[in-house]
Amino acid sequence: MAVSDVRGGRRKSDHMDLLKETVTSTSMSAIKNRIRLSSDELKALDLLRFNHGANPFPGDESVANAFRLGIDYYRNCVERVKFTGAQKVLDLGCGFGRWSPFLGEVNARVVALDRSQDGIRLGSNLCQDLGFDNIEFSAADVSALKNFKTEEYDLVWMWSFLQYVDRGFVLDQVGRILKPGGRFFVGNYGSAGLMVQHLIQGIKKSGTINDPLADWAKKALLNGDVGPGNPNYGTVERCEELCAFYGLKLIRAAPQGLIDLRNENGLSGTGSARKVYDHLDIAIEFVGEKPRDWALRDRRQTTVSEKNRSPVFFSKACDWGIRQFKSLYRKMNPDKT
Ligand SMILES: C[S@@+](CC[C@H](N)C(=O)[O-])C[C@H]1O[C@@H](n2cnc3c(N)ncnc32)[C@H](O)[C@@H]1O
């Protein structure tokens, strides 16, 4: 590759120096200075401005002022799960790139992928405006992962994403594209508690057991999925089993916001999405690792669907949800019990 290659207005050689500096710098604050906005300015940032006034996710008010949680919230999340100092990071299902700048300021390179063209345009405009030249946005369906090189990434970040896709396919691909010892993070992952919440909300809202939301949640609790296909929500207790199923190693699973890998002895997170229905959290998070012997995993695991292979995978959570459902049903229909 010629040294005179130019990327984003910066000569490739300069770019490499910058990457090197990013990776080797011991001063986090020096790296963070690459974002030019202050916390207050970022908080006030109206993202719709970057999308010609149109909301790429109609109905999602969070886009209008996406950073209202404040710069420290994002930085703290990235740092507490130790997603820093890597060469190449994938922000999978990046949406409008909410996490990409915060991954980009503490890692050398970020690839951000989402199937939403508008989301990608918005994220790309935002990161350009912030002065990042190490973040590459790609509008593609997650199935494009199969074309990614094997063992190319150090870290894969998935925030509020895995529950919307075929997690078997995604976790298998994540295992393939991660370098040995590379880590992945699943944040804000829907838990069985979310299904119970939907169930209760649906019944309360419509006053009937035949409410569409309640019916959907009931099916999800019974089947372990929210649509046709593989199970796509989880519980803290089952994360180890889930990771092992795809040949991956669980490092830590906890209710959302509680993993802090900087402080192995304490869980000092914010618990942002914590709301508990009995023992089931609304959202959970987990960090895992690609073991060095990933290639030796049992290949049969990937050819038999998770649900068929492990029919009792979610049984504990489901049983509890169904008990809740039945008790609500009995309360609402005393004559039928
Ligand atoms: C709840 S949003 C989370 C976005 C982002 N991670 C964040 O935290 O702001 C879920 C994202 O998954 C994306 N998505 C869903 N299914 C997808 C698929 N099959 N391929 C690629 N992206 C997908 C959606 O477009 C959406 O942006």
Q: Is residue 218 part of a domain?
A: yes
CB distance 94 to ligand 1 below 6 Å: yes
CB distance 90 to ligand 1 below 6 Å: no
pTM, 2 dp: 0.80
**What domain count does the chain have?**
1
Confidence check: pLDDT of 240 > 50: yes
Q: How far is the CA of 57 from the centre of ligand 1 (A)?
A: 11
Assigned token pair, 2 = 């010629």
Half-sphere exposure of 30 (CA within 13 A, CB side): 9
CB distance 190 to ligand 1 below 6 Å: no
CB distance 98 to ligand 1 below 6 Å: yes
CB distance 164 to ligand 1 below 6 Å: yes
Q: Is residue 29 part of a domain?
A: no
Hey, which of 101-105, 231-235, 301-305 has the most confident mean pLDDT? 101-105
Q: How far is the CA of 195 from the centre of ligand 1 (A)?
A: 19
Provide the pLDDT for residue 120. 94
Higher pLDDT, 55 or 40: 55
Q: Mutation test of ligand 1: which of 69, 98, 115 has the most ligand atoms closer than 8 Å to its C-beta?
A: 115
- For 273, the domain range is 36-336
Q: How many CB atoms lie within 10 A of CB 109?
A: 21
Q: Is residue 331 part of a domain?
A: yes
Is residue 162 within 8 Å of residue 189, measured between CB atoms?
yes
For residue 204, give the CATH number of its domain: 3.40.50.150
Q: How far is the CA of 154 from the centre of ligand 1 (A)?
A: 21
Provide the pLDDT for residue 93. 97
Give percent of the chain above pLDDT 90: 31
What is the C-alpha separation between 169 and 13, in angstroms, rounded?
37
With cut-offs at 50, 70 and 90, classify the pLDDT of residue 46.
confident
Strand 88-92: give its sheet, edge to edge: 135-139, 109-114, 88-92, 153-159, 178-190, 283-289, 249-255
Confidence check: pLDDT of 252 > 90: yes
When mean pLDDT is compared across 38-47, 81-90, 279-288, the lowest value belongs to 38-47
With cut-offs at 50, 70 and 90, classify the pLDDT of residue 10.
very low
Q: Is residue 96 part of a domain?
A: yes
Q: How far is the CA of 332 from the centre of ligand 1 (A)?
A: 37
Helix orientation angle between 192-206 and 315-332, rounded to the nearest 10 degrees: 10
Closest ligand 1 atom to residue 159 Cα is 6
Q: Is residue 192 part of a domain?
A: yes
Tens digit of pLDDT for each residue in 133-180?
899 999 999 999 999 999 999 999 999 999 888 888 899 999 999 999
Q: Is residue 250 part of a domain?
A: yes
Provide the pLDDT for residue 8. 38
CB distance 220 to ligand 1 below 6 Å: no
Higher pLDDT, 180 or 194: 180
CB distance 102 to ligand 1 below 6 Å: no
Confidence check: pLDDT of 21 > 50: no
Q: Is residue 240 part of a domain?
A: yes
When mean pLDDT is compared across 20-29, 200-209, 270-279, the lowest value belongs to 20-29
Closest ligand 1 atom to residue 98 Cα is 9
Q: Where are the beta strands (DSSP E) in the chain?
A: 6-7, 10-11, 88-92, 109-114, 135-139, 153-159, 178-190, 249-255, 276-277, 280-281, 283-289
Helix orientation angle between 192-206 and 212-223, rounded to the nearest 10 degrees: 150
**DSSP tag of 37:** S
Burial-class residue 196 by CB neighbours within 10 Å (0-12, 13-18, 19+): buried
Q: Is residue 159 part of a domain?
A: yes
Confidence check: pLDDT of 4 > 60: no
CB distance 165 to ligand 1 below 6 Å: yes
Q: How far is the CA of 141 from the centre of ligand 1 (A)?
A: 9
With cut-offs at 50, 70 and 90, classify the pLDDT of residue 14.
very low
Is residue 126 within 8 Å of residue 99, measured between CB atoms?
no
Higher pLDDT, 322 or 166: 166
Closest ligand 1 atom to residue 188 Cα is 8
With cut-offs at 50, 70 and 90, classify the pLDDT of residue 190.
confident
Confidence check: pLDDT of 76 > 70: yes
